[in-house]
Structure 1
Amino acid sequence: MQVQAKPGLKLIAILEAMKGLLSFTVALGLHLLAGKDLQQWAESLVLHAHLNPAHHLPGVFIEAMGRFPQGNVQWFMLGALAYTIIRWVEAYGLWKGLRWTEWLALIGCVIYVPFEVYGLIHHPGIIGAVILIVNFLIIAYIARTLQAKPEFAIES
C-alpha cells in the first residue's frame, strides 16, 4: 500500500531539496577553494564585483576569509556534503509520504528554533522573523500530519 504524500509535505520536500542544492553548491565552492589563498581570492572577488574593499562589508568579508583556517576547508566541505545528503533524503521521503522522514523533518525544524530565537533577539530583523514564522508553520503542519496518520501505516 503506497502512502500518498499531502501537497503541503510536497511543498516542504521542495524546500528541503532546495536547501540541499544550496548546501551542495557551498560544498562544491569549498572544494574549488581548497588550497587557495582565501584572502587573495576574496579581494579578487570584491574587485571583480566592482566593490570598494575599503568599505565596511567588503572589508569584513576579506578579513574573515583571511582568518579562515585553510586546513578546515575540507572538513567544512564534508559537513556541507553530509548536510546535502540528509536534506535530499528528507526531501525524497517527504515527497513519497514516508513517515520516518516526517519525523526527521520535525526534529530538524525544532532543533533550529532556539538559534533562530537567539538570532532574532540579538539581531532583530524582518528576515529572521519571517524565517522563524515559516519554521513554526512547518513544525505545526508536520506535527498535525503525524497526528493524523495511523501509527502503523504500511509504507513502501
Structure 2
Amino acid sequence: MARGPLRHFDWNLRSCGRHGHATYAPDEEALARRLHAPTPAGDAWRCLRCGDYVLGEPRGRGPAEDAPIVLRGRALRDAFVLRFLAVERGVRGLLLVALAYGIWRFDGSRQALQRVFDSYLPTLRPLADRLGVDLQNAGPVHLLQEAFAASHSTLLLVALGVLAYGALELLEAVGLWLMKRWGEYVAVVGTGVFIPLEVYELFEKVTVLRAGAFVLNVFAVVYLLWTKRLFGLRGGRAAFEAERHNESLLEVEAAAARDEATVAAR
C-alpha cells in the first residue's frame, strides 16, 4: 500500500488525463456487453486503463486479440521509473560521448594547449599565493599536467574507453525508454559491473556526486531485478507475464465473459 503523499495517487487517471481514455469495442458479443453501457446521452465504453465509462465512439474496434496493450496500475508506475532511468542514462551517455570527443581533440591540439597553459600559469600564481592556494599541486592543475605528459596511445585508449562506456549508456537509455526486456538486462549488467568501482571511489573520497550516483545505480539494479523478475528471480519472465495479464482489464473481463458462458451452458 502506498504511503505518504502518493497514497492517493492514481497512475491510471494520470495517464488518461495526459493521453486520453483507452476505449475499445471488441467483436466478441459477450465481451462487448461487459465493456458497453447505453445511457440517455449515448453509448459509453469502458476505458481499459482506468475502468471508467466514457461517452462516445470507442477509439478502436476489432477482435479482442488485436486490442492495444494498455498499461495500468503498477505497470504505469514501472514505466515512469524506467523512463526516468532512461533519461538519466541518456544524459550521462551524451556527456561521455562529448568527453571522448574532447579527449580526442585535446590530443590533436595538445602542444597549443600546453603553450597556453604554461603562459597563463605564472600569471595566476601571485593571485593564488595571496589566496593561500597551492596552485602547483591543485587538483585540476595536476590533472592537466598528467594529461600533457600522457602518450598519444594512452589518450587514444582513454578516449575509446570513454566512448564505449557512453555508447553502453545510450544503449541502456534506448532499451529502458522502449521498455524492452533486453534493455533491462543491459541496464542491470552494465550498471552492476561498475558498482564495485563506485564503492572503491567512495572509500577513497565521499562526495555528494559520487554518493548520489551510487545510490541511484544500486536502486536501478535492485528495482529492475525485483520488479521485472530478471535472471529467473521471483519466477522469472513467466511470472512477470502472468502478473501483467492479471492486471489487464480486457483480459479480466474476457475471463469473466467466458465464465458466464460456461455457467449458462450448464
TM-score range for the pair, normalised by the shorter chain length: 0.7 to 0.9
- Tell me what 2:89 maps to: 16
Alignment of 1:3-152 (within 5 A): 6-37=79-110, 41-42=113-114, 44=116, 47=120, 52=125, 55=135, 56-57=137-138, 58-147=140-229, 151=237
Residue pair 2:107, 2:152 contacting (<8 A) in 1 also: yes
Residue pair 1:42, 1:61 contacting (<8 A) in 2 also: no
With over 3 angstroms needed to count, the CA separation of the structure-2 counterparts of 1:103 and 1:45, relative to structure 1, is farther
With over 3 angstroms needed to count, the CA separation of the structure-2 counterparts of 1:25 and 1:140, relative to structure 1, is same
Residue pair 1:16, 1:87 contacting (<8 A) in 2 also: yes
Larger displacement relative to structure 2 (116-125 or 54-63): 54-63
Gaps of 5+ in 1: none
Is the helix fraction higher in 1 or 2?
Answer: 1
How many corresponding residue pairs? 151
With over 3 angstroms needed to count, the CA separation of the structure-2 counterparts of 1:82 and 1:120, relative to structure 1, is closer
Larger relative contact order (CA 8 Å, sep ≥ 6):
1
With over 3 angstroms needed to count, the CA separation of the structure-2 counterparts of 1:118 and 1:150, relative to structure 1, is closer
With over 3 angstroms needed to count, the CA separation of the structure-2 counterparts of 1:27 and 1:124, relative to structure 1, is closer
**3-state DSSP class of the match of 1:124?**
coil
**3-state DSSP class of the match of 2:86?**
helix
Alignment-mate amino acid for residue 86 of structure 2: A
Shift of 1:2: 6.3
Work out which of the two has the higher radius of gyration on C-alpha atoms and give 1 or 2: 2
With over 3 angstroms needed to count, the CA separation of the structure-2 counterparts of 1:91 and 1:32, relative to structure 1, is same
C-alpha separation between the residues in 1 aligned to 2:187 and 2:228?
11
TM-score of the aligned structures, taking structure 1 as reference length: 0.77
CA offsets 1:130-155 (integer angstroms, 9 cap, x no match): 222222221222122312896166xx
With over 3 angstroms needed to count, the CA separation of the structure-2 counterparts of 1:86 and 1:149, relative to structure 1, is farther
Larger displacement relative to structure 2 (3-12 or 109-118): 3-12
Alignment-mate amino acid for residue 201 of structure 2: G
C-alpha separation between the residues in 2 aligned to 1:92 and 1:142?
15
With over 3 angstroms needed to count, the CA separation of the structure-2 counterparts of 1:133 and 1:151, relative to structure 1, is same
Indicate the percent of aligned positions where both proteins have the same amino acid.
23
Residue pair 2:168, 2:190 contacting (<8 A) in 1 also: no
